[in-house]
């Protein structure tokens, strides 16, 4: 479904992705883990064709995604419907006068009939506890409600692939639990980025780790990685700290949330 081969990307001459090789099959639930600045968002943006890799190839369902393909209106239309991305900051995604219009926006853009728009909007608003907020302007929602609204705006399209960039960053523990359950119940391919090690086992089945050198340092089973201190250290996800217990000092590894 998704294939990256030898992908590199840099900003202002500074490499943020190096030799990325990644294949994702339909139905997989991938967690993308890496410390701040390791390149997770950039990788998701490449997958969502918001930026093109400077070197290497991106293939989606057998089609090479490049500059000329992104000028093909039919391809772009179906690609944007099939693959959607939830950004880290919900405010960049919300611009309509009401929550209802926000949910309806992309369906209207894609030419759905108003009756079908209403059906889908009400279905997802109900599933996301947004019914009572439908007439409000989105900026009046709380951070967590905005995040829910952004996600609902994507799911109204009934996409095949959902990319989520640090989706739990603004959520309290209860809403985080709600999101984990939702992702589990959704029967679609998901790629979720996080730097939160403790949430990794909840967010997917396969782990891809971007290391400090901006390349993939691990791709495989989640439990195997979480038992491998050396690999976690190499990815910058573990730190050694000294502690005092009375007069005695000792050191052990920690990970940070």
Ligand X SMILES: Nc1ncnc2c1ncn2[C@@H]1O[C@H](COP(=O)(O)OP(=O)(O)OP(=O)(O)O)[C@@H](O)[C@H]1O
Task: List interacting residues with ligand X (CB under 6 A).
Answer: 11-12, 16, 34, 36-42, 195
Please, which residue, 121 or 203, has the CB nearer to ligand X?
203
CB of 120 to ligand X, least distance (A): 31
Please, which residue, 16 or 52, has the CB nearer to ligand X?
16
CB of 257 to ligand X, least distance (A): 13
CB of 1 to ligand X, least distance (A): 22
As a whole number of angstroms, the distance between CA 148 and CA 50 comes to 22
Question: By the 8 A CB rule, do 81 and 73 touch?
Answer: no
As a whole number of angstroms, the distance between CA 150 and CA 99 comes to 10
Q: Which two tokens stand for residue 20?
A: 């990325």
Q: Which two tokens stand for residue 121?
A: 């909007």
Alpha helix (H) ranges present in 60-217?
73-82, 99-109, 114-127, 143-155, 173-185, 200-203
Assign 177 to helix, strand or coil.
helix
CB of 232 to ligand X, least distance (A): 16
Radius of gyration of the chain from its Cα atoms, rounded to whole angstroms: 20
How many other C-beta atoms are found inside a 10 Å radius of the C-beta of residue 214?
Answer: 23
Please, which residue, 37 or 137, has the CB nearer to ligand X?
37
Please, which residue, 36 or 68, has the CB nearer to ligand X?
36
Contacts of 239 (CB under 8 A, 6+ apart): 253, 254, 255, 256
CB of 23 to ligand X, least distance (A): 20
Bridge partners of 221, per DSSP, are: 206
Q: Is 23 left (phi over 0), alpha (psi -120 to 50) or beta?
A: beta
CB of 248 to ligand X, least distance (A): 36
Please, which residue, 175 or 196, has the CB nearer to ligand X?
196
Please, which residue, 33 or 103, has the CB nearer to ligand X?
33
């Amino acid at each position: 479904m998704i294939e990256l081969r030898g992908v590199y990307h840099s900003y202002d001459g500074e490499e943020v992705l190096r030799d990325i090789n990644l294949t994702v099959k339909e139905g997989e639930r991938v967690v993308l883990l890496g410390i701040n600045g390791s390149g997770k968002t950039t990788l998701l943006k490449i997958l969502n064709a918001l930026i093109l890799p400077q070197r290497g190839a991106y293939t989606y369902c057998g089609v090479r995604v490049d500059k000329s393909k992104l000028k093909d209106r039919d391809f772009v239309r179906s690609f944007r419907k099939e693959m959607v991305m939830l950004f880290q900051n919900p405010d960049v995604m919300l611009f309509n006068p009401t929550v209802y219009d926000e949910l309806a926006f992309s369906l209207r853009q894609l030419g759905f009939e108003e009756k079908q728009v209403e059906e889908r909007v009400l279905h997802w608003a109900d599933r996301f506890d947004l019914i009572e907020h439908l007439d409000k302007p989105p900026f009046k929602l709380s951070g967590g409600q905005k995040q829910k609204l952004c996600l609902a705006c994507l799911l109204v399209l009934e996409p095949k692939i959902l990319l989520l960039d640090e989706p739990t960053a603004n959520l309290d523990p209860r809403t985080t639990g709600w999101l984990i359950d939702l992702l589990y119940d959704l029967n679609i391919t998901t790629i979720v980025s996080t730097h939160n090690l403790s949430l990794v086992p909840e967010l997917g089945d396969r782990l891809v780790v971007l290391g400090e050198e901006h390349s993939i340092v691990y791709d495989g089973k989640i439990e195997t990685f979480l038992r491998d201190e050396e690999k976690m250290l190499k990815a910058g996800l573990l730190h050694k700290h000294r502690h005092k217990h009375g007069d005695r000092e000792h050191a052990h590894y920690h990970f940070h949330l």
